[in-house]
Amino acid sequence: MKKDSRLSSILHVLLHMAHSDRSMTSEELATFLQTHPVVVRRTMSGLRELGYVRATKGHGGGWMLCANWQTVTLRDIYDAVGCPPVFALGHRLEEPQCLVEQAVNEALDDAFREAEALLIGRLAHVTLADLAADFSRRCRQRPQRRIAHGH
Protein backbone atom coordinates (compact mmCIF):
# COMPACT_ATOMS: atom_id res chain seq x y z
CA MET A 1 0.00 0.00 0.00
CA LYS A 2 1.30 3.39 -0.84
CA LYS A 3 2.02 5.32 2.35
CA ASP A 4 0.52 8.68 3.16
CA SER A 5 3.41 11.12 3.58
CA ARG A 6 1.42 14.31 4.05
CA LEU A 7 2.23 14.71 7.74
CA SER A 8 5.93 14.16 7.15
CA SER A 9 5.94 16.49 4.15
CA ILE A 10 4.10 19.30 5.92
CA LEU A 11 6.35 19.17 8.95
CA HIS A 12 9.32 19.31 6.60
CA VAL A 13 8.18 22.51 4.92
CA LEU A 14 7.04 24.09 8.20
CA LEU A 15 10.55 23.74 9.59
CA HIS A 16 11.97 25.32 6.46
CA MET A 17 9.47 28.17 6.75
CA ALA A 18 10.49 28.68 10.36
CA HIS A 19 14.03 29.37 9.21
CA SER A 20 12.87 32.01 6.76
CA ASP A 21 11.67 35.51 7.61
CA ARG A 22 9.86 36.11 4.35
CA SER A 23 6.91 34.37 2.78
CA MET A 24 7.66 31.39 0.56
CA THR A 25 5.82 30.43 -2.59
CA SER A 26 4.27 27.03 -3.26
CA GLU A 27 6.92 26.57 -5.91
CA GLU A 28 9.74 27.11 -3.42
CA LEU A 29 8.17 24.72 -0.94
CA ALA A 30 7.55 22.20 -3.70
CA THR A 31 11.28 22.26 -4.43
CA PHE A 32 12.02 21.12 -0.89
CA LEU A 33 9.61 18.22 -1.37
CA GLN A 34 10.62 17.56 -4.96
CA THR A 35 6.98 17.67 -5.92
CA HIS A 36 4.43 19.85 -7.69
CA PRO A 37 3.30 23.27 -6.34
CA VAL A 38 -0.34 22.21 -6.56
CA VAL A 39 0.40 19.35 -4.16
CA VAL A 40 1.74 21.92 -1.71
CA ARG A 41 -1.35 24.13 -1.99
CA ARG A 42 -3.65 21.13 -1.62
CA THR A 43 -1.85 19.81 1.44
CA MET A 44 -1.44 23.23 3.06
CA SER A 45 -5.11 24.10 2.65
CA GLY A 46 -6.03 22.32 5.88
CA LEU A 47 -3.43 24.29 7.81
CA ARG A 48 -4.65 27.53 6.28
CA GLU A 49 -8.24 26.82 7.33
CA LEU A 50 -7.10 26.21 10.89
CA GLY A 51 -5.03 29.41 10.93
CA TYR A 52 -1.61 27.79 11.23
CA VAL A 53 -0.43 29.46 8.02
CA ARG A 54 -1.63 32.33 5.87
CA ALA A 55 -1.44 32.55 2.09
CA THR A 56 -1.31 35.74 0.07
CA LYS A 57 -1.67 36.10 -3.67
CA GLY A 58 0.16 38.30 -6.14
CA HIS A 59 3.65 39.72 -6.18
CA GLY A 60 5.66 38.93 -3.08
CA GLY A 61 2.93 36.55 -1.99
CA GLY A 62 3.20 33.01 -0.73
CA TRP A 63 2.95 31.23 2.60
CA MET A 64 3.61 32.68 6.04
CA LEU A 65 3.61 30.92 9.38
CA CYS A 66 1.18 32.22 11.96
CA ALA A 67 0.98 29.23 14.31
CA ASN A 68 2.03 29.51 17.93
CA TRP A 69 5.25 27.56 17.70
CA GLN A 70 5.17 26.78 21.42
CA THR A 71 1.66 25.34 21.62
CA VAL A 72 0.89 23.74 18.26
CA THR A 73 1.77 20.03 18.36
CA LEU A 74 2.43 17.38 15.76
CA ARG A 75 -1.02 16.02 16.58
CA ASP A 76 -2.56 19.37 15.59
CA ILE A 77 -0.78 19.13 12.24
CA TYR A 78 -1.94 15.55 11.86
CA ASP A 79 -5.50 16.77 12.40
CA ALA A 80 -4.92 19.66 9.99
CA VAL A 81 -4.00 17.33 7.13
CA GLY A 82 -7.26 15.47 7.68
CA CYS A 83 -6.46 12.77 10.24
CA PRO A 84 -5.44 10.22 7.62
CA PRO A 85 -5.82 6.56 8.63
CA VAL A 86 -2.94 5.42 10.82
CA PHE A 87 -2.91 1.72 10.02
CA ALA A 88 -2.37 -0.19 6.83
CA LEU A 89 -3.96 -3.23 8.48
CA GLY A 90 -7.71 -3.54 8.62
CA HIS A 91 -10.70 -5.78 8.31
CA ARG A 92 -12.42 -7.23 5.31
CA LEU A 93 -15.79 -6.00 6.60
CA GLU A 94 -16.39 -3.31 9.22
CA GLU A 95 -19.65 -4.75 10.52
CA PRO A 96 -19.67 -8.46 9.72
CA GLN A 97 -22.65 -10.69 10.44
CA CYS A 98 -20.43 -13.65 11.23
CA LEU A 99 -19.88 -14.02 14.99
CA VAL A 100 -16.42 -15.43 14.47
CA GLU A 101 -15.42 -12.49 12.33
CA GLN A 102 -16.85 -10.07 14.90
CA ALA A 103 -14.73 -11.66 17.61
CA VAL A 104 -11.57 -11.54 15.50
CA ASN A 105 -12.14 -7.92 14.52
CA GLU A 106 -12.78 -6.81 18.07
CA ALA A 107 -9.72 -8.63 19.37
CA LEU A 108 -7.54 -6.96 16.75
CA ASP A 109 -9.22 -3.58 17.26
CA ASP A 110 -8.32 -3.68 20.93
CA ALA A 111 -4.66 -3.79 19.95
CA PHE A 112 -5.11 -1.21 17.19
CA ARG A 113 -6.88 1.21 19.52
CA GLU A 114 -4.11 1.01 22.09
CA ALA A 115 -1.37 1.48 19.52
CA GLU A 116 -3.15 4.41 17.89
CA ALA A 117 -3.75 6.09 21.24
CA LEU A 118 -0.07 5.73 22.04
CA LEU A 119 0.97 7.17 18.68
CA ILE A 120 -1.42 10.13 18.75
CA GLY A 121 -0.52 10.78 22.37
CA ARG A 122 3.13 10.93 21.46
CA LEU A 123 2.43 13.35 18.64
CA ALA A 124 0.39 15.51 21.01
CA HIS A 125 3.36 15.87 23.33
CA VAL A 126 5.71 17.29 20.70
CA THR A 127 5.28 20.95 19.83
CA LEU A 128 6.65 22.51 16.68
CA ALA A 129 9.18 24.28 18.91
CA ASP A 130 10.25 20.92 20.31
CA LEU A 131 10.74 19.62 16.79
CA ALA A 132 12.82 22.64 15.80
CA ALA A 133 14.93 22.32 18.96
CA ASP A 134 15.34 18.62 18.28
CA PHE A 135 16.54 19.47 14.80
CA SER A 136 19.17 21.85 16.17
CA ARG A 137 20.23 19.32 18.79
CA ARG A 138 20.59 16.55 16.21
CA CYS A 139 22.78 18.77 14.06
CA ARG A 140 25.07 19.59 16.99
CA GLN A 141 25.24 16.16 18.56
CA ARG A 142 25.22 13.85 15.59
CA PRO A 143 26.85 15.58 12.63
CA GLN A 144 27.84 12.19 11.22
CA ARG A 145 24.19 11.66 10.37
CA ARG A 146 24.61 14.28 7.69
CA ILE A 147 26.39 11.82 5.48
CA ALA A 148 24.29 8.70 5.81
CA HIS A 149 21.89 7.18 8.25
CA GLY A 150 20.24 3.81 8.36
CA HIS A 151 16.50 3.42 8.50
Partner DNA sequence: TCTTAAGTAACAATATTTGTTACATGAAAA
Partner DNA sequence: TTTTCATGTAACAAATATTGTTACTTAAGA
Q: Which does 57 bind (CB under 5 to 8 A by kind): DNA, a copy of itself, none?
A: DNA
Subset of 71-130 contacting DNA (CB under 7 A):
84-85, 88, 92
Give CA separation, 52 vs 9, 17, 18, 48, 64, in Å. Answer: 15, 12, 12, 6, 9
Residue 148 within binding range of a copy of itself, rule CB under 8 A: yes
The torsion angle over the Cα atoms of residues 101, 103, 105 and 107, rounded to 10 degrees, is -150
- Three-state DSSP at 112 gives helix
Residue 38 within binding range of a copy of itself, rule CB under 8 A: no
C-beta of residue 76 within 8 angstroms of C-beta of residue 123: no
Residue 105 within binding range of a copy of itself, rule CB under 8 A: yes
d(CA 130, CA 138): 12
Q: Which does 42 bind (CB under 5 to 8 A by kind): a copy of itself, DNA, none?
A: DNA
d(CA 35, CA 9): 10
Task: Find the binder of DNA among 19, 22, 60, 100 (CB under 7 A).
Answer: 60
d(CA 142, CA 139): 6
> At 48, which helix (H) or strand (E)?
helix 37-49
Of the listed pieces 13-21, 32-40, 69-77, 137-145, which binds DNA according to CB under 7 A?
32-40
The site for a copy of itself (CB under 8 A) is made up of 1-5, 7-9, 11-12, 15-16, 32-35, 74, 84-92, 94-95, 98-108, 110-112, 114-116, 118-119, 122-123, 126, 131, 134-135, 138-139, 145-146, 148-149, 151
For DNA, the binding residues (CB under 7 A) are 1-6, 9, 25-27, 33-39, 41-42, 44-45, 48, 55-63, 84-85, 88, 92
